């Protein structure tokens, strides 16, 4: 199946735009992913009360790894890479998992370095599961359906909203010092949220896309006047951050691996959806030999990139869906633009002041943007579910999966007698969706709703 809107593209997949056009397009893509790329490390660092040094290093390595991953993804190195303008960035699926596992390790008395080395160690090994899954993708067509993929993405967004609203009220630190939910915190977060909403009302796509960045900048400036920005993390910094493989050591825990490994396998469903969407907006086939080859290479790159990322000290990566909107907006689908993006990200990640700067952003400022950001992830899941319409069977799968997944989020102890993976909202929702999709009889009932109806 070949998309028909080829005239919409100014630069096609293999075209090489002039330097200025390519650089401007690269900056536009970075505008769409930069905040979501650094946010996961900031969330995990804040929730686990990590030192500024470790949090800043996680942010820096997120940029370096995203650059390396994007370079691998846009180029086809044998069986590695989709050869599409697929941008790699930190996977939000792992945020709640890292927080849950990290807090558990801290309760057991593990040191900060040991917690990080264990979290990254199990992620390093788990990433190989994604690489293995790339080879069986052709046999999983009846499992990786829009319903299953949509449920996984929706559960990612819904499970993260709790983290977003916590920062909205001041963050985990505010809970401990008694300022959580203060009028100052709520006012600051609301200001950021209102600015983002206002920018989303503009007709200009570039202005809409820059709303989150502008909201964070304004919130940060107001925070400066309120005197709540701590600049101490910016003192005595080295000029360059040198990536050190397994900087905090390498530790492995089977208990944590079961949960992280399941999330890795479920993230394959998300990657398939994102790569398919990128193929569509790039006017490439979404079925047949070329599509299968790009899909396998893209998922293979997803796994390899996460291996590299976790070895360097970043959270796992995945293909980002936000950039598909940028391709549609600019009409630039050239994979060569990804090379510019890759270089810019690596350069930024090597300067420690960039990573440290993000650690100075107050929690309410981040919370004002994250509440909307995570809600949009949940809505993206709904749209994936509605891609091919929904009938009674899909409705039952979604309702059961979301019901049990959110149930775990509200009452984590309800399934404490079961393995740990059933105590995570994303795992519970994703596994239930997969199982029901396999065992429930299929019907030919006419679809009741489609995305057009939304």
Check if the beta carbon of residue 298 is closer than 8 Å to that of residue 319.
yes
Contact 382, 451 (CB under 8 A): no
The pTM is what? 0.78
Confidence (pLDDT) at 398: 92
- Per-residue pLDDT, 449: 52
Note the pLDDT of residue 234: 77
pLDDT of 205: 67
Q: Which pLDDT value is given to residue 211?
A: 79
Report pLDDT for 242.
83
What parts of the chain have a pLDDT lower than 70? 1-8, 205-206, 209, 322, 325, 329, 443-454
Domain boundaries, the chain: 19-439
- CA 279 – CA 274 distance, rounded (Å): 9
Contact between residue 45 and residue 359 where contact means Cβ atoms under 8 Å apart: yes
> Phi, psi (5° rounding) for residue 287?
-165, 165
Q: What is the CA radius of gyration of the chain?
A: 21
Q: What is the pLDDT of residue 376?
A: 78
How much helix, strand and coil, in percent to the nearest 5, is found in the chain?
70, 5, 25
Q: What pLDDT score does 309 carry?
A: 93
SS3 labels along 202-271: CCCHHHHHCHHHHHHHHHHHHHHHHCCCCCHHHCCCCCCCCCCCCCCCCCCCHHHHHHHHHHHHHHHHHH
> Which residues make beta-bridge pairs with 317?
90
pLDDT the model gives residue 408: 87
pLDDT confidence of residue 447: 56
In this structure, what are the phi and psi dihedrals at residue 318, rounded to the nearest 5 degrees?
Answer: -155, 175
Q: At what angle do helices 211-226 and 363-385 cross, to 10 degrees?
A: 160
């Amino acid at each position: 199946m070949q998309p028909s809107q080829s005239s919409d593209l100014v630069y096609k997949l293999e075209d090489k735009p002039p330097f200025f056009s390519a650089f401007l397009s690269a900056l536009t893509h970075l505008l769409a992913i930069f905040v979501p790329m650094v946010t996961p490390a900031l969330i995990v660092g804040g929730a686990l009360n990590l030192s500024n040094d470790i949090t800043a290093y996680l942010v820096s390595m997120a940029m370096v790894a995203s650059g390396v991953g994007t370079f691998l993804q846009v180029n086809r190195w044998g069986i590695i890479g989709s050869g599409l303008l697929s941008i790699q960035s930190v996977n939000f699926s792992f945020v709640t998992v890292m927080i849950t596992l990290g807090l558990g390790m801290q309760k057991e008395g593990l040191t900060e370095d040991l917690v990080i080395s264990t979290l990254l160690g199990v992620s390093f090994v788990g990433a190989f599961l994604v690489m293995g899954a790339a080879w069986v993708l052709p046999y999983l067509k009846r499992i990786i359906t829009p319903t299953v993929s949509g449920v996984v993405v929706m559960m990612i967004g819904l499970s993260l909203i709790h983290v977003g609203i916590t920062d909205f009220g001041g963050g985990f630190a505010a809970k401990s010092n008694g300022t959580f939910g203060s009028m100052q915190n709520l006012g600051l977060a609301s200001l950021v949220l209102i600015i983002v909403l206002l920018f989303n009302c503009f007709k200009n796509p570039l202005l809409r896309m820059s709303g989150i960045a502008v909201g964070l900048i304004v919130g940060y400036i107001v925070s400066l006047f309120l005197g709540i920005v701590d600049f101490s993390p910016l003192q005595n910094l080295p000029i360059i951050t040198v990536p050190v493989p397994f900087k905090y050591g390498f530790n492995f825990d089977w208990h944590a691996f079961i949960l992280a490994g399941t999330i890795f396998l479920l993230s394959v469903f998300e990657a398939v959806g994102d790569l398919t969407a990128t193929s569509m907006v790039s006017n490439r086939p979404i079925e047949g030999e070329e599509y299968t080859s790009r899909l396998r290479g893209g998922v293979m790159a997803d796994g390899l990139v996460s291996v590299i990322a976790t070895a360097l000290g970043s959270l796992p990566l995945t293909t980002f869906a936000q950039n598909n909107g940028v391709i549609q907006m600019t009409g630039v689908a050239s994979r060569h633009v990804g090379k510019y993006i890759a270089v810019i990200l690596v350069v930024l990640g090597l300067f420690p002041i960039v990573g440290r700067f993000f650690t100075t952003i107050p929690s309410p400022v981040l919370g004002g943007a994250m509440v909307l950001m995570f809600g949009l992830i949940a809505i993206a899941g709904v749209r994936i579910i509605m891609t091919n319409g929904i009938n009674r069977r899909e409705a039952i799968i979604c309702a059961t999966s979301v019901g049990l997944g959110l149930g775990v989020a509200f009452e984590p102890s309800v399934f404490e007698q079961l393995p740990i993976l059933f105590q995570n909202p994303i795992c519970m929702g994703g596994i239930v969706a997969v199982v029901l999709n396999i065992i429930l009889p299929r019907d030919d009932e006419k679809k009741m709703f489609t995305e057009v109806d939304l």
